[in-house]
Amino acid sequence: MILSDLTPGNSCTITNLHAENRLGQRLLDLGIFPGVSIKVLRNAPLEDPMEVEIDGMLLSLRHEEAKYVEVKIR
Amino acid sequence: MTTKSRLAALAGQPNCGKSTVFNMLTGAHQHVANYPGVTVEKKSGHFSVAGVRVDLVDLPGTYSLTSYSLEERVARDFLLDEKPDVCVNVADVSTLRRSLSLTLQIMEMDLPVVLALNMMDKARKEGVEIDLRILEERLGIRVVPLAAAKGEGKGELMEAIQEQVSIHRHPRQVDYGPLESKIHVLEDWMRDQGTTSSLPLRWLRIKLLEGDAFALEHARGKIAQGEKLADMALRLGKEFEQEHGESVSRHLATCRYALADEIVSSCQKHSFSSRGLTNKIDAVVCHKLLGPVILVGVIFLLYQLSIVQGYNLTNYTWPILAKFKELCGLALPAAGFVDDPMVRALGLWVVDSVNALLNYIPIFLILFTLIAILEDSGYMPRMAFILDRLLQRFGLHGQATLPLVLGGVYVGGCAVPAVMSTKAVPDHRARLATILIIPMLNCLAKVPLYILLIGAYFAQHQALAMFFISTISLLMALPVAKLLTLTVLKKQESAPFIMEMPDYHLPTIGGVLRPALQKVWLFVKKITSIVAAVAVIVFALLRFPGIGAEAMREIEARGDHAQNDFLQIVDTSPLQGRFQLEEIPDLLEFEAAYKQAKIRATSDQDAVLVDKRFSERNAAYLAMVKGQPAEEYGKVSRGLRSLLRERKLIRMEIQKARIDSSFLGRIGQAMEPVTQWAGFTWRINVALLSALAAKENTVATLGSLYQQDADASGSDLSASMKETESGFTSLHALALMLFMVLYPPCLATLITIKLQSGSWGYMLLSLGGQITLGIGVAVLVFTGGSLLDLTGLEAMIAFYCLAVALTVAAAMIPNPPLEPDPGHS
């Protein structure tokens, strides 16, 4: 399953990352690595982007970008 | 101890408190400029430690040092080219794992590194212990604990910097596991071939394997047999990818992260509690309903405090500028009766142009302070979070919210601070699109013309027309943003949206005032000087080739006649024979000064004092000006007033004749064949052209072109406009207003666009694009409206529907992809 499908309140573990280059690098830079757990906090008032918590940090990313993050619900 | 100064670079990830550390170290010794050739801001400063001067350069905040973004390339190039004596890496201790990834990358560049572990106070408060000795040992570099916001650790950090430049430690190398063998292949080959490079070798090999564009280019251009080296590295990289099922860059990042993770686990006891408070605030601030309400509230407050209150403040600052102009007027050659010496006219013109800009300083000061508060507090990314989806549809970015608000999304902004604030937009393509549409929004200076035209031609539907003009600008700007994104800007670098939502902070006074003052100073220094220079050019265009000698003689004769008439009247008074023609300029100056002084006098007592002062200066003049005693001087006073009226009239005629025959006037006439389709006569063309210096001028120029009696008020201007242009209808007015919405950016904005986009090309695009679009829209409305026999109101509604349809259509078209990608080949 992919991160963009998750609804607020769900926690999951990252299993894979399907983006390379610019986007892939940025996701890695912000600590999105396989094995790390991630929690969806909320969606923006217009549904997109979403806010997540990872490794004690809050990140905001578009669903378009979250599509590339494969996750497993814990 | 040498007296040679040392160079230190300050690196760190966004939100790590890097600028606080920078301020702590350098204090007031700061200088803001740009990195050469790019628009990235370069802050530098210096401090002394143990008798050595250290020059500190603040690198852009980056998560990594790849070739993907401008900021990262700038930081990387600085570290490689300038080879600083030491690199100070600031890291937020609460995100240590992620921060160390950057530290390890900097260490790979073979530079002495000091890790400045910031926000230690937060760690203390949460009971998180960091064993600094273990951290130093594992990394092999000096680590200094800091709480920069409280000024803790300053001395120790300075000492560490000074010590690091003399002691070279052995920093830890990341073990890249299976990739190491490939690195060795390259190393062996280079040794065998006897080739080397000016870059750190291990770093170069790793980057080559990664397929980094910069490293490949360097190899191919600057290394003997580099072509072969590059090809071999690319082949090895591909091999690795096939063998291990992941790209080299992913592998590198994973190895660094794993090492960082291991180091953090070994030196850190307890972990930071998750962002409880920030999350709780976000639950409100980013709430589905409350979020937008708070956003509108913040925007409203920002607008109220800066634009409205700032404008009120200019009531107090304007007199200072007026005084400045007065002083300049005294220093310049005196005014003539009908015409002023060129030097005077030019001098006052330049002072006026510069004053028009300096007048905005109070607004800018409040605005930049509020922006700094928004940035410092952590609210900015939340604004982006709330509106990103909407803006993204037009190729913009959530972070464009603030620039659009400042530019005047509804009505009454200012493009200069708006363009300056686009710096916060991390996506280069979206940033350029934002810069280019900001001047299409309704800045304060456009409003007087709207009010004039709406008052004259849409008097029955004022509210509706005002709503139309306030919202139509955004409805035109958004489709244009999309169009630019799909065409001109298609090849520009875009960036992923993903961003950190930093913790909320209480802004500090230093953290707010310093950047605000720096920005205002930058504005004064850069923009004002360029505007003064360009004002001279516009002056020349409006003045030359000038009125023919014949016509000028005629006008002068009229002036002489008026003066002689006045003298005859004076001769009927007690001053007979004691007042000469040569004294008239003195008298006129006396009259102007007296009038000014009277206006300034706030009480009856003041007024008496003024009379006394002027009576001492010249009792006879005062008697003539005041017309007292009436039986002796009443006639003279009336004569003086009619002389002044005549002078004003003549001067306006000169100005009108001069503009008509000027280069700008000729351009206006030459443009009439085109602009007639938009309903503009050449007179309107000239008014619009002369407003290039500042839009505030439009109404004034229309005034001098249409209005013969200068004492008339604004409503009479509409009347005399209606009279002179008898065929002028509400459809004409609508076309003119729409042209004004799209009116070319003012000088200050153009210069700001040049500064923020880093290119004259975008400045010219902004200028040319808006003129073309403006004329296009005006022609469409006027010619289309005429053909369909629409009234101004009908055409307004039709055009509004068209704009809404275009906006919706633009929102539906998908954006171009994130690439092009200079990072990897």
pLDDT at B823: 41
* Chain A: residue whose CA lies nearest to B271: A56
Mean pLDDT is lowest, of A55-64, B202-211, B434-443, B613-622, for B613-622
* Chain B residue nearest residue A31, CA to CA: B98
Contact A21, B495 (CB under 8 A): no
Residue type, position B689, single letter:
L
pLDDT at B167 over 70: no
Residues of A in contact with B275 (CB under 8 A): 53, 56-58
Cα of first residue to Cα of last residue in chain B, in angstroms, is: 48
In chain B, which residue's Cα lies nearest the Cα of A28? B253
Q: Chains A, B: CB contacts under 8 A, how many?
A: 137
Nearest to A27 among B287, B381, B498 (CB): B498
* Amino acid, single-letter form, for residue B226: G
Residue in B closest to A48 by C-alpha: B389
Tell me the backbone φ, ψ of residue B58, rounded to 5 degrees.
-85, 115
Q: Which range, B58-72, B350-364, B720-734, is most confident?
A: B58-72
Q: How many angstroms away from the CA of A11 is the closest CA of chain B?
A: 14
Task: Give mean pLDDT, residues B628-642.
Answer: 83
**Of B99, B118, B253, B256, which is closest to residue B174 (Cα–Cα)?**
B256
What ipTM is given for this predicted complex? 0.95
Least confident of A59-73, B254-268, B597-611, B684-698: B684-698
- Percentage of chain B modeled with pLDDT above 70: 93
Nearest to A31 among B98, B271, B279 (CB): B98
Mean pLDDT computed over A35-51: 94
Side-chain-facing half-sphere of A43: CA atoms under 13 Å: 14
Per-residue model confidence (pLDDT) at position B421:
87
Non-local (6+) Cβ contacts of B311 within 8 A are B363, B444
Whose CA is closest to B426, among B7, B15, B2, B11? B15
Q: Which chain A residues are Cβ-neighbours of B71 within 8 angstroms?
A: none
Mind listing the pLDDT tens digit for each residue in B594-632? 888 888 888 888 888 888 888 888 888 888 888 878 888
Question: For A44, which of B271, B283, B286 is closest by C-beta distance?
Answer: B286
Q: Do A59 and B249 touch (CB under 8 A)?
A: no
| Cα of B64 to nearest chain A Cα, Å | 7
Q: Do B286 and A42 touch (CB under 8 A)?
A: yes
Q: Which residues contact B213 (CB under 8 A, 6 or more apart)?
A: B67, B822, B823, B824, B825
Q: What is the mean pLDDT of residues B521-526?
A: 79
Interface test with A, best of B294, B389, B397, B429 (most A CBs within 10 A): B389
Q: Report the CATH fold assignment for B6-164.
A: Rossmann fold (3.40.50)
Contacts of B818 in chain A (CB under 8 A): 22-23
For residue B253, give the nearest of A28, A41, A65 by CB distance: A28
**Are the beta carbons of A44 and B63 separated by less than 8 Å?**
no
> How close is the nearest chain A Cα to the Cα of B473, in Å?
23
The answer to whether B292 contacts A45, with C-beta atoms less than 8 Å apart, is yes
Q: How far is CA B195 from CA B198, B213, B615, in A?
A: 11, 20, 91
pLDDT tens digits for range B337-390: 777 888 888 888 888 878 877 887 888 888 889 888 988 899 989 999 999 999
Number of domain units in chain A: 1
Q: Do B499 and A60 touch (CB under 8 A)?
A: yes
pLDDT surpasses 70 at B430: yes
- Using pLDDT thresholds of 50, 70 and 90, give the confidence band for residue B40: confident
Say which CATH topology domain B177-269 has: Helix Hairpins (1.10.287)
How confident is the model at residue B410, as a pLDDT?
A: 67
**Residues in chain A closer than 8 A to B288 (CB atoms):** 45
* B659-700 tens-digit pLDDT: 778 888 888 889 889 888 988 888 788 778 777 665 666 666
Q: Distance from A46 to chain B by nearest Cα, in Å? A: 7
Report chain A's terminal Cα–Cα distance, integer Å.
12
Q: Which segment of A38-47, B116-125, B528-537 scores lowest on mean pLDDT?
A: B528-537
* Cβ–Cβ below 8 Å for A21 and B819: yes
Q: What whole-number distance in Å separates Cα of residue B474 and Cα of residue B460?
A: 25
Determine whether the interchain pair A21/B388 forms a contact, defined as Cβ–Cβ distance below 8 Å: no
Q: Are B389 and A46 an interchain contact pair (Cβ–Cβ within 8 Å)?
A: yes
Q: What percent of chain A has pLDDT above 70?
A: 100
Q: Taking 70 as the threshold, does the pLDDT of residue B165 lie above it?
A: no
Judge whether residue B234 has pLDDT over 80.
yes
Q: Which residues span the domain enclosing A15?
A: 3-73
Q: What are phi and psi of B340, to 5 degrees?
A: -95, 155
SS3 state at B101: helix
Q: Residue B247: list chain A partners with CB under 8 A.
A: 20, 24
Are A23 and B95 in contact (CB < 8 Å)?
A: no
φ/ψ bin of B273: left (φ > 0), alpha (ψ from -120 to 50), beta (otherwise): beta
Q: Which of A28-32, B410-414, B793-797 has the lowest mean pLDDT?
A: B410-414
pLDDT band at B243 (very low <50, low <70, confident <90, very high): very high
Residue B726 pLDDT > 80: no
Q: How confident is the model at residue B294 (pLDDT cuts 50, 70, 90)?
A: very high
- pLDDT, averaged across chain B: 86
Residues 10-69 of A with CB under 8 A from B: 17, 20-31, 33, 41-42, 44-49, 51, 53, 55-62, 65
Contact list in B for residue A37 (CB cut-off 8 A) is none
Average pLDDT over residues B166-183: 85
Task: Quote the pLDDT of residue B789.
Answer: 92
* Inter-chain CB proximity B824 and A21 less than 8 Å: yes
Q: Does pLDDT of B129 surpass 50?
A: yes
Q: Which of B61-75, B328-342, B529-543: highest mean pLDDT? A: B61-75
Q: Give me the pLDDT at residue B181, please.
A: 95
Within 10 A of B101 (CB to CB), how many other CB atoms are there? 24
Identity of the residue in A26, A33, A45 whose CB atom sits nearest the CB atom of B498: A26
For residue B249, give the nearest of A25, A57, A61 by CB distance: A25
CA angle B171, B174, B180 (to 5 degrees): 125
pLDDT tens-digit profile of B767-776? 999 999 999 9
Contact B496/A53, CB-based, under 8 Å? no
Question: Nearest by CB to A22, which of B384, B398, B821?
Answer: B821
Contact B498 A28 (CB under 8 A): no
Percent of chain B with pLDDT over 90: 40
Mean pLDDT of chain A: 92
Confidence of residue B462 (pLDDT cuts 50, 70, 90): confident
Q: Nearest CA of chain A to the CA of B403: how many Å?
A: 20
pLDDT of residue B290 exceeding 90, the answer is yes
Flag whether pLDDT at B411 surpasses 70: no
Pair of tokens at residue B147: 């709480």
Sorting pLDDT into bands at 50, 70 and 90, what band is B810? very high
Q: Which two tokens stand for residue B296?
A: 């509108």
Q: Which of A27, A48, A51 sits opposite B501 (nearest CB)?
A: A51
CA distance B822 to chain A (A): 9
At residue B800, the pLDDT reads 96
pLDDT(A49) > 90: yes
Residue A66: which CATH number?
2.30.30.90
Instruction: Kindly report, residue by residue over A17-35, the tens digit of the pLDDT.
Output: 998 888 999 999 999 999 9
**Shortest CA distance from B381: residue in chain A:** A60
User: Is the pLDDT score of B802 beyond 90?
Assistant: yes
**Residue among B64, B398, B497 whose CB faces A29 most closely:** B64
The whole-model pTM stands at: 0.81
Which of B440-444, B453-457, B747-751, B764-768 ranks highest by mean pLDDT?
A: B764-768
Q: What is the mean pLDDT of residues B183-199?
A: 92
- Label residue B288 by pLDDT band (50, 70, 90): very high
Domain boundaries, chain B: 6-164, 177-269, 274-319+392-497+671-825, 549-657
pLDDT at position B281, please? 94
Q: Does B395 or B337 have the greater pLDDT score?
A: B395
Residue B287: closest CA among chain A residues belongs to which residue? Answer: A45
Pairing verdict, β B113-118 and B142-145: parallel
Nearest CA in chain A to B295: A45
Q: How many residues does the structure list for chain A?
A: 74
